[in-house]
Amino acid sequence: MIKVYGADWCSDCIVLKQVLREYKIEYKYIDISKDKEAIKFIENINNGKRIIPTLIINDKSYTNPNINNLLAILRNEKYIT
């Protein structure tokens, strides 16, 4: 399952979640503003920076992809055709 690390106030996170819902892709949303361990995790994989949205798909991380990159990632990971 896809994990999405984000925050409710993040406009890029909102758009990313809308795209996943449009394609009916299940995901787990982790709000870093409510989870200190999630903040540490995000900082660890993003060289000390809190960059959101960050996705984890099949043990690979993707940081703040734009729509075209997100669709390419979803195709490469076989979530969409």
Query: Domains of the chain (ranges plus CATH)?
Result: 2-76 (3.40.30.10)
Which pLDDT belongs to residue 22?
Answer: 97
Which pLDDT belongs to residue 55?
Answer: 98
Q: Model pTM?
A: 0.93
pLDDT digits (tens, 9 = 90+) for 13-37: 999 999 999 999 999 999 999 999 9
Record the tokens describing residue 50, joined without a space. 């809190």
What is the CB neighbour count within 10 angstroms for residue 21? 11
User: Mean pLDDT across the stretch 52-63?
Assistant: 97
Say if CB 54 and CB 41 are below 8 A apart: no
Q: Model confidence at 77, in pLDDT bands (50, 70, 90)?
A: very high
